[in-house]
Amino acid sequence: MFERFTDRARRVVVLAQEEARMLNHNYIGTEHILLGLIHEGEGVAAKGLESLGISLEAVRSQVEEIIGQGQQAPSGHIPFTPRAKKVLELSLREALQLGHNYIGTEHILLGLIREGEGVAAQVLVKLGADLSRVRQQVIQLLSGYQGKEAVAAGGPAEGQPSTSLVLDQFGRNLTQAAREGKLDPVIGREKEIERVMQILSRRTKNNPVLIGEPGVGKTAVVEGLAQAIVKGDIPETLKDKQLYSLDLGALVAGSRYRGDFEERLKKVLKEIRTRGDIILFIDEIHTLVGAGAAEGAIDAASILKPMLARGELQTIGATTLDEYRKHLEKDAALERRFQPIQVSEPTVAHTIEILKGLRDRYESHHKVSISDGALVSAATLADRYVSDRHLPDKAIDLIDEAGSRLRIRRMTVPPEIREYDDKIADARKEKESAIDGQDFEKAASLRDKEKSLIT
């Protein structure tokens, strides 16, 4: 069963064990699983409980009030109680009922609620949470839609951006990434970004498609728009918009039966329509034509066309000129809904400016210093000798490759340090085996040996 657990669900089990140790309990009960779910902080379960006003501190104090602290800290493996095991079995059942082939934090929480008699259920009831409402909240979060019930249950108020769990599952929030400084700076694409803003501000047919050769920086234009939204350098029509990059591969992956893909895509579109503040970016937009159309099902393009025509869905596409001619121009109805923007290959001088803008990122990543001469050489040599690729991508690749090579050469660990690390690892392994064998005197001496080696 554990092989079906997502990384977050596995982390919940580890955190439940830690919570049991903190409370000096020599077992993992439903209460520790609940604490683990909240402690994890990022999963659907944590978000659902948080929206209902249930905090980690409140649950911890209730658990201490009901059970109290243990006398002695547990050592070694901590077993699950029969009730906790039942919760994990119920989480599998919940996942199967929802048609999911994995067990996430949401399924564990649904299992806790279905079990309904453990300490975790008592704690939730004591904190004023109706179990059926908690269940309803989790299901709503899974569907990616928070309606009036969610607001009534303590969810985000109207006018505030709610969490987009469906979009987060099948895409990436570029606006959030720009806010956190995760995107590379965009240099010299002001004209293209302004044109994208102009098309997005139209009343109808407001869907730009960036057309250019591979590696010229089509995605960079969209990242530049995300950064402009964060800075506020945008027209009023685009204020407070969220720019999401949709991963079509993730939408199609695992859709084994007819209708699976359409259902997923419709969930995404329902959320976009409900939110009303989302601009969708689809890289390699030509893949829309025919995507998910197995066994007579309609493809993604046919599902999107009506929304694009009505202006309910704002989409930025990106594709190469060859693919645009091959796929989008053939589908006249789809082509009409998009406004093409040509993204040309930058000159060598422009490429050098782009490399200067990216220099800090590559210096901090590779722990090297990159000179102006190296940037000029990368741009000129890439332009002269790499004929099957395009600037600035091929010049950036040269800088990245050179930085990687230099770092590997410089940062190879000397043999004497490697030998020292091996000694520490051996001492640690021996100490752990001594603890397992209840030989605590030997474990203590090995711990001292490990400390002396480290210091």
87-101, 221-235, 291-305, 419-433 — which one is most confidently predicted on average?
221-235
Q: What is the pTM of this model?
A: 0.56
Pairing of strands 208-211, 242-246: unpaired
Rg (CA), the chain: 27
Distance CA 179, CA 161 (A): 15
Percent with pLDDT over 90 in the chain:
5
For residue 145, pLDDT beyond 50: no
Among the listed residues 175, 211, 191, 36, the one whose alpha carbon sits nearest the alpha carbon of residue 108: 36
Ranked by mean pLDDT, which of 9-13, 20-24, 88-92, 217-221 comes out on top?
217-221
Q: Which of 242, 214, 51, 63 is nearest to 146 (CA)?
A: 51
Show the tokens assigned to 323: 């693919």
Is the confidence at residue 4, as pLDDT, over 60?
yes
pLDDT digits (tens, 9 = 90+) for 303-319: 777 777 777 778 898 88
Say whether domain 7-144 belongs to CATH 3.30.70.141.
no
Specify the CATH number of the domain 348-411.
1.10.8.60
Counting residues of the chain whose pLDDT is more than 70, the rounded percentage is: 87
Q: Which residues of 147-166 are buried (b: 16+ CB within 10 A; e: fewer)?
A: eeebeebebeeeeeebbbbb
pLDDT of residue 158: 34
| pLDDT tens digits, one per residue of 374-431 | 999 999 998 898 888 888 888 999 999 998 888 887 766 677 777 778 888 888 888 8
User: What is the C-alpha to C-alpha distance for residues 221 and 87, in angstroms, rounded to an integer?
Assistant: 48
Sequence-distant (6+) residues with CB within 8 A of 203 are 311
Residue-level pLDDT at 298: 62
Better-scored residue on pLDDT, 171 or 353? 353
For the cut 80, the answer to whether the pLDDT of residue 273 exceeds it is no
Residue 208 has pLDDT above 80, yes or no: yes
pLDDT-based confidence at residue 352 (cuts at 50, 70, 90):
very high
Residue 169 or residue 150, greater confidence: 169
Average pLDDT over residues 210-230: 89
Rounded to 10 degrees, what is the CA torsion of 63, 91, 250, 277?
-50
pLDDT for 380: 92
Q: If pLDDT is split at 50, 70 and 90, which confidence band does 154 have?
A: very low
**Considering the chain, what is the average pLDDT of its residues?**
79
**H helix or E strand, kind and range, residue 452:** helix 440-454
- Does 265 score more than 60 pLDDT? yes
Can you tell me the distance from the alpha carbon of 332 to that of 316, in angstroms, rounded to the nearest whole number?
A: 18
pLDDT band at 152 (very low <50, low <70, confident <90, very high): very low
Q: Decide if pLDDT at 340 tops 60.
A: yes
pLDDT at 161: 40
Q: Does residue 287 contact residue 265 with C-beta atoms inside 8 Å?
A: no
Among the ranges given (11-20, 56-65, 150-159, 342-351), the one the predictor scored with the smallest mean pLDDT: 150-159
In words, the CATH class of domain 165-342 is alpha beta
CB 24 within 8 A of CB 73: yes
CA dist 420 → 108, 130, 425, 452 (Å): 43, 57, 9, 12
- Give CA 282 to chain center in angstroms: 17
* Antiparallel, parallel or unpaired: β 278-283 and 339-342: unpaired
pLDDT digits (tens, 9 = 90+) for 318-331: 888 888 888 777 77
